[in-house]
Amino acid sequence: LQSYRDIAPDFLIIESTLGNEKSPNRRYQEHQFMNHIAENIKNNQNIAIAASPLGQAQEIIMLLKNHPY
């Protein structure tokens, strides 16, 4: 970030999904997510999944498609 100190932009747009540098373990998150989905299916509950339009929905679809319920 040091190289950006002298820049004075008219607009600054920042997108961030995590507020820290260390991301949670992806495999653990996928496991937790799929356990939650499987539990809802087992209990015959409705499932709504919110996803951003930039690839996240496709990742969720592939995860659901490849998971052995």
More confident residue, 10 or 43: 43
As a whole number, mean pLDDT of residues 36-53 equals 87
Domains held by the chain: number: 1
33 assigned to some structural domain: yes
pTM: 0.61
6 assigned to some structural domain: no
29 assigned to some structural domain: yes
Conformational region of residue 50, where left means phi above 0, alpha means psi within -120 to 50, and beta covers everything else:
beta
Q: Residue 42 belongs to what domain range?
A: 20-69
4 assigned to some structural domain: no
Kindly indicate the confidence band of residue 69, based on its pLDDT and cuts at 50, 70 and 90: low
DSSP-derived secondary structure for 40-61: HHHTT--------TTTHHHHHH
pLDDT for res 34: 92
